[in-house]
Each structure stands twice: as C-alpha cells, then as structure tokens.
Amino acid sequence: MNVIILTIPMALIFAGGFVYAFLWATSKGQFDDLETPAMRMLKDENPSEQKQKNGI
C-alpha cells in the first residue's frame, strides 16, 4: 500500500495539470464560440486560398 504515497500526489499533479491546461485554453478563447468552427470545417477551401496559405 505504500506506493499510494507516490501515486496520490502524482494523480493530483496530473489533475492539476489538466485543469491548468483547460483554464489556459479558456483564456485563449478556445470556448468563446462553440458553433461556428464546427460549421467552418465542413467546407473545403478554395484552391486560391490554399495557395495563399502555403505561400505560393
């Protein structure tokens, strides 16, 4: 059972890491708009737009 002394802090640090990552993503605007990005990805880009993005 002694291993629990190691695993519990590990689990808590792990959880803390995820909470921190979530809070970071929130303040970067990840969850500001939950609808539009889902619609945006359905459409293919125009060839011209792709060229611009690839710098051609």
Partner 1 sequence: MISVMSEIIENIASKSYVACKHCGTLTNFENQFCCSACEILYQVQNQNWLPQTNTNFDSYKKNFSYMDHPDFRNYYAVKENPNGFVFYVEGLQCSSCVHLIEKLPDFYNEVKTAEINFGLSTLVISGSENMQLSHVAAVISELGYRAWPLSPQDNVVDRFKEENRAFIKKIAIAGASAGNIMLFVVPIYAGLSGSYATVFSWLSFFLFLPILFYAAIPFYQGAMNSFKYHVINVDLPIVIAMLSGFIVSTINLVRGHGEIYYDSTASFIFLILATRFMVKRIQQKSLSESSLSQYIPIQSVEYKTADGVANKPSHKINPGDILIIKPNQILPADGTIYSISADLDMSLLNGESLPQTFAHGMKVFAGTRALNKEFEMIVEKTNADTEIGHIISKLERESIQKTNFITLSDKIAQWLIGIVTSIAVFFFIFYGALVDYQEGLNRALALIVLACPCALAFGTPLTYAMSLRRARELGILIKNGNVFEKVLNIKNIFFDKTGTLTSGQLSLVQYFPNEVSEEVKGIILALESNSSHPIAFAFRNAWREATPVNLENLEEKLGFGVVGYYQGQKYSLESNQKREENGLMSVAFKKNDQALGYFYFSDELHQDTKQVIQDLTSRNFNVGILSGDRKFIVNNIATETKIKPSMVYSELTPMEKQDKIKDFENVCMIGDGANDALAMKSALLGIAVKGSVSLSLNSCDVYFTRPGLKSLLFLIDISQKAQDTLKRNLFFALMYNFIGGVLSLLGFINPLIAAILMPISSALILGSTLWGVKK
Q: What residues make contact with partner 1 under the rule CB under 8 A? A: 1, 4, 8, 11-12, 15, 18-19, 22-23, 26-27, 29, 31-36, 39-40, 42-43, 46, 48-49
Nearer to partner 1 by Cβ, of 27 and 55: the residue is 27
Tokens of 31: 């969850």
32/55 with CB nearer partner 1: 32
Structure tokens at 21: 């990552």
Cβ-based neighbours of 7, under 8 Å, separated by 6 or more:
none
- Quote the least distance from Cβ 10 to partner 1, whole Å: 13
